[in-house]
Amino acid sequence: MNLMLPDSGLIFWMTIIFAIVFFILAKFGFPIITGMVDRRTKRIDDAIAAARQAEESLAGLAKEQERLLEEAKAEQKRILQEAAAQRDSMIAKAQEEARQAAGRIMDEARTRIREEKEAALKDIRKEVAVLSVTIAEKVIRKELSTDTGQMEHIDKMIDDAAGLSS
């Protein structure tokens, strides 16, 4: 018995056992193994497709976010411009109302000053008239206190009347 060359009967039985094991594996084992590999490959492909889809979705969301951000900035700019225009309008309106109110106040003050001036002049004229009458009364009493003064006064009045009539 040679260790390098096996016996022909051993080769025969080994070949039959190999064929039976190969047949059993080909019939039952390989389909299960290839099915598991196929399912695993399909799951990996599905996961890759889902990852690509999620990546595309995220890119779309990023673009949408940028667009919304730009819209928000444009809206903010528009609102700020409207607020500035409204502020300027309110300031101009308030200034115009203040000018009109100042004009009315000035007109009222001028009218009041003129009225008070006229009233003061009227009072002064009244006082002057009263003082003039009082002074004239005192002068006439002094002049008419004597008989000669009365006669001179009467003569003077007659001369004045005669001078006016001529």
Q: Is residue 4 part of a domain?
A: no
Q: Is residue 1 part of a domain?
A: no
Sign of CA dihedral 150, 154, 155, 157: positive
- Interatomic CA distance for residues 32 and 101, integer angstroms: 99
Task: Provide the residue range defining the domain that includes 18.
Answer: 9-160
Give the chain's domain count. 1
Q: Residue 158 pLDDT > 90, yes or no?
A: no
- Interatomic CA distance for residues 32 and 88, integer angstroms: 82
pLDDT band at 147 (very low <50, low <70, confident <90, very high): confident
Q: Is residue 3 part of a domain?
A: no
3-class secondary structure, 117: helix
The whole-number average pLDDT for the span 102-115 is: 94
Q: Is residue 43 part of a domain?
A: yes
